[in-house]
Amino acid sequence: VIVDLEGGGAYQTYQETFSLFGRGKVTAPNAFGRGLHFDFAGTVGNRYNAAEGSAKMPRWLAKRWLGLNLDVEMLAYVRAQATERFGDLSTFGASMIVSRSWQREASASRRARITSLSLRYDFRSRNRRDEATRPAGVDEDVDLVPVPTLTGSVGVGLRIDERADSAGNANPLSPSQGYLLDAQVALASRYLLGQDTFVHVGALGQKFWSPHPRVLIRAEGRFDQGLPLGDSVLFANGCFVGDSDH
C-alpha cells in the first residue's frame, strides 16, 4: 500500500481570491496478490473538495473471472467547487472502461510504442446555480436557481503513445522524444441515462523534442466539438464527455 500526502495554495490576482487545499491518496497496486489495482483519493480545500476512487482489473484476470480478454477499469468521483462561471458547482461521475493494448518494444531503428483501443460508458450529474429572471411575487428576491444536468454516453477511443526516453524506451511520465495521439468519439443519449442527445468528438496530440540534453521542447494541441442531434442540447460546463485528464 502506498500513501501520498500533499498540500498547497494559490492566489489569483484578477479575482483577488486565495485557495488552500490538502490531498491524500491511498494506492494498492497489487491488491490480494492478484494484480488488482485500487486507489482512493480525497481533497479538502476552501474552494474545491473531492473524493475519487478507481479499480483496475488486468486482462488475464478479467478473462478468468468475466470471460473478457480485456483490461477493465471503473472510476467514480464526487466534486464540489467554486467556479467563476457557474458559481458553486457539484458533480458526480462514474465510468466503466474496457480496453486492449498492444506494445512494441524499442529497437535500434524505432521507439517503443503502446497502442490502445477502448470502449467506455460515462455518466455525469452536475448541479450548478444560474441567474433567474422572476416576475414580482414571493420569489422575486431569488436571483439564483439550481440547474441540474445529466449526461450519459458511450464512446470509443484510440490511443497511440510513443513517448520515450533518449534510448527509445517507453517513458510516458518523463519523455525526451516521441509523440502521443489520443482520439475519442462518443454518443450521448437519453437512453443512456442522460437528458440530451449529441455526439462528442475529441482529440489530443503531443510532440516532444530534445535538441540538447538540458533542453526539452513540447508542443500540444487539443480539439473538442459537440454536435447536437435532434432537439437543442444543454451542455454542462461545455461538452463534458470523458472529462479528460491529460
**pLDDT digit string (tens) for 137-165?**
545 555 666 778 899 999 999 999 999 99
Max distance between CA atoms of the chain, in angstroms, equals 77
Q: Please determine, for residue 101, whether its predicted confidence score (pLDDT) is greater than 90.
A: yes
Q: In the predicted model, what is the mean pLDDT of the chain?
A: 86
Q: Is 70 exceeded by the pLDDT of residue 217?
A: yes
Q: Which residue has the higher pLDDT, 8 or 142?
A: 8
Instruction: Report the alpha-carbon distance of residue 145 to residue 133 in Å, rounded.
Output: 10
How many of the other CB atoms lie within 10 Å of CB of 202?
20
Spatial separation of the C-alpha atoms in residues 180 and 164, rounded to whole Å: 10
Q: Which residues contact 99 (CB under 8 A, 6 or more apart)?
A: 70, 71, 73, 116, 117, 118, 119
pLDDT at res. 245 = 43
Whole-number pLDDT of residue 235: 53
**Average of pLDDT values for 230-242?**
52
Q: How many residues does the chain have?
A: 246
